[in-house]
């Protein structure tokens, strides 16, 4: 396991709620102070809420929380539970008439494992805000139903989950959290080895080779069954425009740890938040973010246990 957690950045905290039988859940990043936020969506099958607000040309620069959810499009309902919790705390953008909580969110597709008829909902989103746990990794929150290497279905996939990591350069801290639910094969980029992916009797197969064969049949079996989500956090002082660049650079970490990545069957999305305590260079933050993301990808595999009939790294 690589060291560090998302909440090594002071002033933020994580909440989780999950259904261990249905294998789905919600993870929420919270802060009592608004966080400057950017986002970069690279996959072609995203499920998101409020990400348009974070475009560089748009009005809103700060958010009160970020929600990552299972349940595919159904799971976006959980974000409303987070909004309700923040409303009760008196947190949100002051419009002059009422404070409106700003909560961008994104979902993974986890309906192929556990129960497809149970999804994160309003109540689960609210519950996640009250169940703070900054340290857990693996099968927790939105990572409950995560799997990787799905080109031949769950019987040949590997169980994944939620991973975290952080790095420090002087007073600057950059950290990441990843819910790893990728179509492709997974690599520990710093140790130069494959750690998960399509397998047959314990031996890894090559997803690209499988794609070459499946191209003759069409890709319908792959549609919408994936998506990796991440949050990058820093105590650096960065604008929304700069954080959009950090989120963009952080996708390099996906490219190091996932192959293939950003496919038509993934909705890969990275949020980047800053608390604004340390003057910093956004290029350095982006470079560290990419490395953090690659480490949190590996930790999502190392921390996971087998579930729903899908074997984990440790079992394999």
With the C-alpha atoms ordered 160, 292, 103, 265, is the resulting torsion angle positive or negative?
A: negative
What number is the average pLDDT over the span 224-241?
93
CB 185 within 8 A of CB 197: yes
Q: Tell me: pLDDT of 219 over 70.
A: no
Span 6-302: which CATH code? 3.60.70.12
**pLDDT band (50, 70, 90) for residue 202:** confident
Structure tokens at 17: 């709620």
* Contact call for residues 26 and 16 (beta carbons, < 8 A): yes
pTM over 0.75: yes
Residues in a beta bridge with 29 = 14, 66
- For 243, the 3-state DSSP assignment is helix
- 265-312 pLDDT, tens digit per residue, is 899 999 999 999 999 999 999 999 999 999 999 999 999 999 999 999
Q: Is the dihedral of CA 16, 22, 23, 26 positive or negative?
A: negative
pLDDT given at position 296 = 98
**What is the residue extent of each domain of the chain?**
6-302
Q: Which residues are within 8 A (CB) of 291 and not within 5 positions of it... i.e. 6 or more apart?
A: 167, 253
């Amino acid at each position: 396991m690589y060291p560090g957690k998302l909440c090594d950045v002071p002033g933020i905290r994580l909440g989780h709620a999950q259904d261990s039988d249905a294998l789905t859940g919600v993870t929420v990043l919270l802060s009592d102070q608004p966080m400057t936020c950017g986002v970069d969506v690279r996959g072609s099958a995203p499920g998101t809420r409020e990400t348009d607000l974070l475009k560089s040309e748009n009005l809103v620069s700060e958010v009160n929380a970020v929600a990552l959810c299972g349940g595919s499009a159904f799971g976006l309902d959980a974000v409303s539970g987070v909004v309700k919790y923040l409303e009760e705390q008196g947190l949100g953008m002051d419009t002059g008439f009422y404070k409106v909580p700003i909560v961008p969110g994104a979902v993974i597709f986890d309906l192929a494992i556990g129960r497809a008829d149970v999804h994160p909902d309003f109540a689960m989103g609210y519950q996640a805000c009250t169940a703070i746990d900054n340290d857990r990794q693996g099968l927790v929150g939105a990572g409950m139903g995560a799997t990787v290497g799905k080109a031949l279905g769950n019987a040949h996939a590997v169980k994944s989950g939620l991973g975290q990591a952080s790095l420090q350069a002087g007073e600057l801290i950059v950290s990441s959290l990843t819910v790893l639910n990728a179509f492709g094969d997974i690599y520990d980029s710093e140790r130069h080895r494959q750690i998960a992916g399509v397998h047959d009797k314990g031996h890894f197969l090559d997803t690209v080779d499988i794609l070459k064969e499946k191209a003759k049949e069409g890709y319908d079996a792959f549609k919408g069954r994936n998506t990796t989500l991440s949050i990058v956090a820093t105590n650096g002082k960065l604008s929304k425009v700069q954080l959009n660049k950090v989120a963009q650079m952080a996708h390099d970490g996906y490219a190091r740890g996932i192959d293939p990545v950003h496919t038509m069957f993934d909705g890969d999305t990275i949020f980047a938040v800053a608390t604004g305590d340390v003057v910093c260079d956004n290029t350095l933050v982006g470079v560290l973010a990419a490395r953090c993301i690659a480490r949190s990808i590996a930790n999502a595999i190392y921390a996971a246990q087998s579930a729903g009939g899908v074997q984990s790294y440790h079992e394999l």
